[in-house]
Structure 1
Amino acid sequence: MSNIATPSLKIAVVIPAYKVGSHILGVINKIGPEVSRIYVVDDCCPEGSGAQVKETCTDERVKVIRNSENQGVGGAVIIGYKAAIAEGMDIIVKVDGDGQMNPDLISDFVAPIAGGEADYTKGNRFFDLEEIHVMPKMRLFGNAVLSFMTKLSSGYWDLFDPTNGYTAIHRDVARHLPFSKISHRYFFETDMLFRLNTLRAVVVDIPMNAKYGDEVSNLKISKIIGEFLFKHIRNFAKRIFYNYYLRDMSIASIELPLGIIMLVFGVVFGSYHWITSSQAGVATPVGTVMLAALPVIIGLQFILAFLAYDISTTPRRPLHRNKNQQYL
């Protein structure tokens, strides 16, 4: 565990509470003294998790916030973020209340932010290949698919495990997030990455082990793949427009549209002549084949060049670094 406790650094933990009545008190009890405030956000929990914490928890750091209507995990976390910002917390850690996330790792998530190396940290259960065998195979496959889509839509090509909700963020970065536009449901974690990229925030993965007990996950990957795919395509289009045409222009701004145009032309032109030749029972002329193949090859090269440029421009300079020198 990293030693990040300093007199001037105030760390808050946000715990969204929904159907976690049997686990949340154990999670709170494991949170160390480096944390100044714990926000339990009862997201209109049918088990009354918030009331349970209020009645039985004696930890003075705990503050219970209850939503009158269910906002989803993202909505609950955003409410916790706003409360932490209002109370002047410096770094805000999000921990689930179901016991899957080890509170002993809080210092590991905070250290890169306190050290001026990152604006946002998130867990990665895939770092240790010897440990991921405990993860259900369907969930493992779903996370791999979602991770690839997230790389495309968010621009953080060096990150994995996008649905991992164990995160930490610096207050000065959180203050600039458009909370009203961020998805409030299960797309919250991946939408956060897209929003962070538009701010050019530095995001770092924190290795952690997968942990599964008797808790039941509300996330069914098989049911949300379609919804996630649509939202990833939307965010990808927005990110490309924001980063390559609205705020800046580069060679990549030309490579992507030119590559797509040439690829589409080659595929359509080649398919048309192949179908026509097949119906006529004659071989497609070599010149026609080359005229179709050449744009496809060149188009793919332009698209690959764009991807190489996009990967190389992953944010590397933390937004809050200058403001955070007092903590070093």
Structure 2
Amino acid sequence: MSNAYRIAVVIPCYRVRSRIMPVIESIGPEVGWIILVDDACPESTGEWVARHCSDPRVTVLTHPENLGVGGAVITGYRHALTTAADVVIKLDGDGQMDPALILRIAGPLLAGQADYAKGNRFHRIGFAKGMPWVRLVGNAILSLLTKLSSGYWQLSDPTNGYTAIRRELLSELELERVSRRYFFESDLLYHLNQIRALVVDIPMRARYEDEPSSLSPLKVLIPFLLGNLRNTLRRIGYSYFLRGFSVASVELLLGSLLLTAGAGFGLWQWHDSAESGVPATAGTVMLAALPIILGMQMLLSWLNFDVTAEPRQVLHTLLGDRQMPMKQALRSKENAG
């Protein structure tokens, strides 16, 4: 089965005018559509590409106001649904993502082995060579937070924007609810988990030269922390108490209550003992320690259940039948054109 003309590439553009043409020129013939979204770029990147690029695969879309990287990608996703592409790749326009890896990223999706794929720059130690240490530390912390908030415990490098998604999922996702700013990739993982999509990591090398980054760690720290906390609570509430209730739900609820009660009682008794100078009795210590131990055991059991509950079945094959007539019509239109 040929990969040609089954892949669409979405490129969000903001202040990348000097770098965008080499990126477009590096995209191989395996790609049938290149959708460039000018996110109210002050350099008018989209207009410049429209004037200087002769590649017939390129379509330029322009936002009248800046919506953020997520908003630009979502605009590109929606346009990709009007094509006959099976897989949609998100590629940055600053040159940090190698277009030669497009087939590697799209491969599992074209083969029907996954619904969504993303790059992972930490698969090997050598892959992260050249990455600034601030990003290394930040990505390690964000990886842990995103595992908890998304439920994809086997994934790493959650902010990696080199991604691929099956068109069937684009129709299934509520794209209007996904974050529009830098939290886009992490928030999308949460929404993918809610529809039980199979997500895989694709090993890739970090590519850092002299490209300036508009992502300030201090600027996004609070939004990322709040976003992951919100998604963690939403995922737990929906997955364990609304959509499904199981032994794991009981373990999570009782474990949290026991741990909180034991810690609270222990701190209260410790304060009283410190004030009075009278050591706490062995029985008092056990009344505090036992709920903490039982609570921790229950929470660890719940965590083990949550890790093993990560989606394992490909979803797009189940959704494909309902979209088949539309896809056939689009392909007939493309062939006629």
Give TM-score scaled by structure 2 length: 0.93
1:222 shift after superposition: 2.5
Q: How does 1:50-69 map to 2 (within 5 A)?
A: 50-69=46-65
Q: Which runs of 5+ in 2 are unaligned?
A: 325-337
**Higher deviation after alignment, 209-218 or 90-99:** 209-218
**2:127·2:204 contact (CA, 8 Å) conserved in 1?**
no
* Corresponding position of 2:182: 186
Tell me, in whole angstroms, the C-alpha distance in 1 between the residues paired with 2:319 and 2:234.
29
**1:269·1:292 contact (CA, 8 Å) conserved in 2?**
yes
* Corresponding position of 1:229: 225
**1:21·1:48 contact (CA, 8 Å) conserved in 2?**
yes
1:131 shift after superposition: 2.9
Residues 1:108 and 2:116 are matched in the alignment: no
User: Residues 177 and 268 from structure 1, CA distance in 2 versus in 1: closer, same or farther, beyond 3 angstroms?
Assistant: same
Match of 1:316, SS state, is: coil
Tell me, in whole angstroms, the C-alpha distance in 1 between the residues paired with 2:209 and 2:43.
19
**1:117·1:321 contact (CA, 8 Å) conserved in 2?**
no
Q: RMSD between aligned alpha carbons?
A: 1.4
Residues 1:300 and 2:296 are matched in the alignment: yes
**2:168·2:320 contact (CA, 8 Å) conserved in 1?**
no
Aligned counterpart for 1:71 among listed residues 58, 67, 71: 67
* Corresponding position of 1:312: 308
Q: How many residues align?
A: 322
1:306 shift after superposition: 0.5
* Corresponding position of 1:11: 7
1:226 shift after superposition: 1.7
Aligned counterpart for 1:282 among listed residues 266, 278, 281: 278
**Higher deviation after alignment, 316-325 or 268-277:** 316-325
- Structure 1 residues 295-326: Cα deviation after superposition (integer angstroms, max 9, x where no partner): 00110111111110000010010111256699
Tell me, in whole angstroms, the C-alpha distance in 2 between the residues paired with 1:227 and 1:109.
28
Match of 2:155, SS state, is: coil
Residues 1:149 and 2:145 are matched in the alignment: yes
Tell me, in whole angstroms, the C-alpha distance in 2 between the residues paired with 1:158 and 1:58.
42
Tell me, in whole angstroms, the C-alpha distance in 1 between the residues paired with 2:100 and 2:3.
17
* Corresponding position of 1:176: 172
1:221 shift after superposition: 1.7
Q: Which amino acid aligns with 1:131?
A: F
Residues 1:255 and 2:220 are matched in the alignment: no
Match of 2:31, SS state, is: coil
Q: Which amino acid aligns with 2:170?
A: A
Residues 1:89 and 2:85 are matched in the alignment: yes
Q: Which runs of 5+ in 1 are unaligned?
A: none
Tell me, in whole angstroms, the C-alpha distance in 1 between the residues paired with 2:292 and 2:105.
45
* Corresponding position of 1:266: 262
Tell me, in whole angstroms, the C-alpha distance in 2 between the residues paired with 1:13 and 1:5.
17
User: Larger % of helix: which?
Assistant: 2
- Structure 1 residues 109-128: Cα deviation after superposition (integer angstroms, max 9, x where no partner): 11101111100000101112
- Structure 1 residues 11-40: Cα deviation after superposition (integer angstroms, max 9, x where no partner): 100000000011110000000101000000
Tell me, in whole angstroms, the C-alpha distance in 2 between the residues paired with 1:119 and 1:248.
23
* Corresponding position of 2:133: 137
Tell me, in whole angstroms, the C-alpha distance in 2 between the residues paired with 1:275 and 1:304.
29
Identity in percent? 50
Tell me, in whole angstroms, the C-alpha distance in 2 between the residues paired with 1:280 and 1:311.
45
Match of 1:130, SS state, is: helix
1:227 shift after superposition: 1.6
1:69 shift after superposition: 0.6
Q: Which amino acid aligns with 1:206?
A: I
**1:27·1:103 contact (CA, 8 Å) conserved in 2?**
yes
Q: Which amino acid aligns with 1:107?
A: L
* Corresponding position of 1:202: 198
Q: Which amino acid aligns with 1:17?
A: C
**1:14·1:38 contact (CA, 8 Å) conserved in 2?**
yes
1:178 shift after superposition: 1.0
Tell me, in whole angstroms, the C-alpha distance in 2 between the residues paired with 1:277 and 1:231.
40
Give TM-score scaled by structure 1 length: 0.96
Aligned counterpart for 1:44 among listed residues 28, 40, 51: 40
